[in-house]
Amino acid sequence: MSGSAPASKILVSACLVGIECNHRGLANTSDAVRALAAEYDLIAVCPETQGGLPTPRPAAEVQDDGRVVNEAGDDVTAAFVRGAHAALAVAQAAGVTQAVLKARSPSCDPGRGITAAALRAAGVRVRCEEDDLTLE
C-alpha cells in the first residue's frame, strides 16, 4: 500500500472543465477549476442536460417567484428541478461535501441556482468559479 489517502471528490459544473454543454453549446472552461484536478477527483455534472434540456437551448432565468423561464417565454422549471435532483443524486452517491458551480447559471449560481439550492439544502458547500477555490 502506498499509504496515501484517496483524493477527495468535488462536484463541478461540466462546462467549467471544458464540456460543451452550456445554453450556447459551448464550454465555460475555468483554468482554476481544472487545476483542482491535481488534488481532487472532479465529478462533472450539467444539471440542465441531465434534466432533459437540449444543447444548445434558449437562455433561461430564475424568476422572483422561483420559476425558471427561458427567453422564448416557456416555463422550464420542471427540467431544472429534474436536473437538480439528478445532480444531487450524483453528489450523494459520490459522498461529495463541496461543489464548484457556474456563476450566473439558473441551475448552478450559488445565489439563485436551482441545483445550487438543492445541494446546499443537503449540506454540500457550494461556491462558484469566481470564488476563492482554496478547498478544505
Quick check: is 83 in a domain? Answer: yes
Quick check: is 98 in a domain? Answer: yes
Quick check: is 29 in a domain? Answer: yes
Residues 129 and 33 sit within 8 Å (Cβ to Cβ): yes
Quick check: is 2 in a domain? Answer: no
Quote the DSSP letter at residue 64: T
SS3 12: strand
- Tell me how many domains the chain contains: 1
Q: Which domain range does residue 89 map to?
A: 8-128
Find the mean pLDDT for residues 27-54: 97
Quick check: is 133 in a domain? Answer: no
Quick check: is 76 in a domain? Answer: yes
- For residue 2, pLDDT over 50 is answered with no
Q: Largest Cα–Cα distance of the chain, in whole Å? A: 57
Looking at the chain, the whole-number percentage of residues with pLDDT higher than 90 is 91
Quick check: is 101 in a domain? Answer: yes
Kindly report the pTM of this predicted structure: 0.92
Residue 63 has which C-alpha cell? 424568476
Quote the DSSP letter at residue 17: G
Residue 2 has which C-alpha cell? 502506498
The amino acid at 100:
V
For the stretch 86-101, pLDDT in tens is 999 999 999 999 999 9
